[in-house]
Structure formats: C-alpha cells, structure tokens
Structure 1
Amino acid sequence: MLNYSHIIKLKFLNFTDLNIQIEAANSIILKSINKSILGIFSSIIKLFRMNNNYDKNGIKNIYEYLKLNKLKLIKK
C-alpha cells in the first residue's frame, strides 16, 4: 500500500524519468527535466482526479491507473 510519503518514479518509454511526490496536504508535485513528459503526466493526473474521488487511496488508484495504461512505475 502506497502512502503520502512515497515518491514514485515513472519511466515512460525511453524518456526522462518523472518523479511524483505526494505531500501530506494531498497535493501532487511533478518533477521532470523533460517538459513535454511533465505536461503529459500532469494532464493524466488532472483528468484522473476530475473523474475519481481523490481520497487517502488516491495515490494507489493513480498507481493502478497508470500501470493499467502500460506505463512503467518503479517505487523508490
């Protein structure tokens, strides 16, 4: 079970890694040098949050959602 202190490292094909950090305030911080990848994942998460109830299990749901969509996620 993931919690808010986890940092999830996403690797999308051969592009730059993207870090997602979940803060206690229920906010998501996306970090990436590659701005186009940052925009893609930012959009995915915004869409996901609009279409799902975002609660304590929100990050687990996002993790499952991205995994189902063939993105490789590596827990740090």
Structure 2
Amino acid sequence: MLDTILITVLIVAICIALLGVGIILKGKFPNTHVSGNKALRKKGIGCVQSQDREAQKVNKRAIAEVEKQSNDEIN
C-alpha cells in the first residue's frame, strides 16, 4: 500500500514539474481567459463580465427623456 502511494506521489510530482517547464520556457502563465482565445474573439464572443460592464455603461448620446422613461418602466 505504501508503495502505491509513493508511486502515485512520484507520478504527480513529475507531471507538475513537466507542466512547470512549459511555463518557465514561455516566461509567462498561459492565458486561459475567454478574451485570450483568438477563435472566440473572431466570432465576437467575449467574457460575460466584460459584456455586462459594457452594457452597464451610461450612453452619453442617449436622450435624457428616453433614458428617464426606461428607468421609470423598470422601477
């Protein structure tokens, strides 16, 4: 039983070391964020947090009456 645990720990340690080699050679941690994916950017797919932040921005060109009316409808 102890042999199995030691072999497992050794295999996990080797895997972590090999993953670390890739990071060390590239000099940076890989970008796994949605915005870092070129194929998704081409399709116009972005991060939900970024899209929400963009939707929450106040439109400076909006007409005040329309904005007020939409706010009244929401409340």
Normalising by structure 2, what TM-score? Answer: 0.27
Q: From the CA coordinates, give the structure whose radius of gyration is larger.
A: 2
Larger RCO (CA within 8 A; separation ≥ 6): 1
Give the structure with the larger strand fraction: 1
* Higher helix residue share: 2
